Structure 1
Amino acid sequence: MKHILSSLLILTLFISCNSDKEIAQEPQKTDYTVENEKEITDYIAKNNLTAQKSDTGLYYVINEPGTGAQPTAKSNVKVAYKGYYTNGKVFDESKPEGISFGLNEVIHGWTEGIPYFKTGGSGVLLVPSHLGYGPYNYRGIPGGSVLIFDVKLISVN
């Protein structure tokens, strides 16, 4: 009996060790550049957008350039926005009167993208994950996500 129990214990440990190897996950992917690029360009084509691409990989559409002050990456601004994924699912939205914040306190896609507009301007920012939250999950936004923002620059403070 003792021999049978020992054999079962060893077999259980062996199976557990093998299962761990099979279940082991690959290291978390950190570079989504290729996938993000395809996702963004497919979205642009599907939605018939005329977008420009910056050197960093940010895509932007200027619907209305605006006529007022133009912010810099260090400006404090008031922006109304809607953030969503390429499938159209909204993950965040401001009230129509917008919110104020420093452009040095937000994701890189906004720090770079909002200064393309002058006060009163509006458009779309198509943000690859390396200019958003990278490979990390953040407040319900999955790591590696492309983020799209409809933005209106209300004021530069």
Structure 2
Amino acid sequence: MKRSIYAVIILMMVMVVGFTACGDDDDNGFSAEQIAYFEKNLEFIREKKVLKGEDGELLYKQVILGGDTALYRVLSKEGEETKYPTSQTSVTMTLKGDFISGQNFQKEMTMVLTPANVVPGLGAILLNNTVGERVEAIIPAYLGYGYYDNRGIPAGSTLVFTYTIEKFN
């Protein structure tokens, strides 16, 4: 009886060691080039998080969502509007999107959207904007299109949106 218990325990230990040794989860199947691209995008965000203006204040405001941080700053503001949208408010805006390299992936165009129907990071930032604001938003991959290629956007891309909110519908 004791031998069979020891045999079961040893078999379980071998299985646990075998399963963990066989796992290749460290890089999730990404190439060294992809991992370097991810790191470059993460470093871009780390640098922007601590960037300060001439007044010594942080240049970018932070919106934390799902354990990650999207950044934004108001570039200019026209008007005195103080109303903010909800997640279901239709927002008319001109928007363009670039990668951190400056390469454009979304030409500037006027569109109508709701914060609930865009990538999570942009949606969360929109909830903090008012009509007349021109905004730069930096969306990390986790709050954008993630770590898989998506319609011409490479896996792990940080997205930089510049937009002006024209009106809420």
TM over 0.5: yes
1:105 paired with 2:117, answer yes
Partner of 1:123: 135
Post-superposition offset of 1:61: 0.7
Determine the C-alpha separation between the residues in 2 that align with 1:87 and 1:44: 18
Residue in 2 that maps onto 1:53: 62
Q: Which has the higher strand share?
A: 2
Higher relative contact order (CA 8 A, sep 6+): 1
Amino acid at match of 2:95: Y
How far does residue 44 in structure 1 lie from its aligned partner after superposition? 6.7
| Overall identity of the aligned pairs, in % | 24
Q: Following superposition of structure 1 onto structure 2, how do residues 21-100 of structure 1 map, counting pairs within 5 Å?
A: 27-28=28-29, 35=39, 36-42=41-47, 50-56=59-65, 57-65=69-77, 67-68=80-81, 69-95=83-109, 98-100=110-112
Query: Which runs of no fewer than 5 residues in structure 1 stay unpaired?
Result: 1-25
**SS at 1:93 equivalent:** strand
TM-score, normalised to structure 2, is 0.65
- Deviation, 1:65, is 4.7
**Displacement of 1:79 after TM fit?**
1.2
Q: Where does structure 1 differ by over 4 angstroms across 4 or more consecutive aligned residues?
A: 43-46
Selected match of 1:114 from 126, 129, 147: 126
- Is the CA contact 1:53–1:60 (under 8 Å) kept in the aligned structure 2? yes
What is the identity, as a one-letter code, of the residue corresponding to 2:43? Answer: K
Q: CA RMSD in A?
A: 2.8
| Corresponding residue number in structure 2 for 1:142 | 154
TM-score (norm 1): 0.70
Whole-Å separation in 1 of the counterparts to 2:76 and 2:88: 22
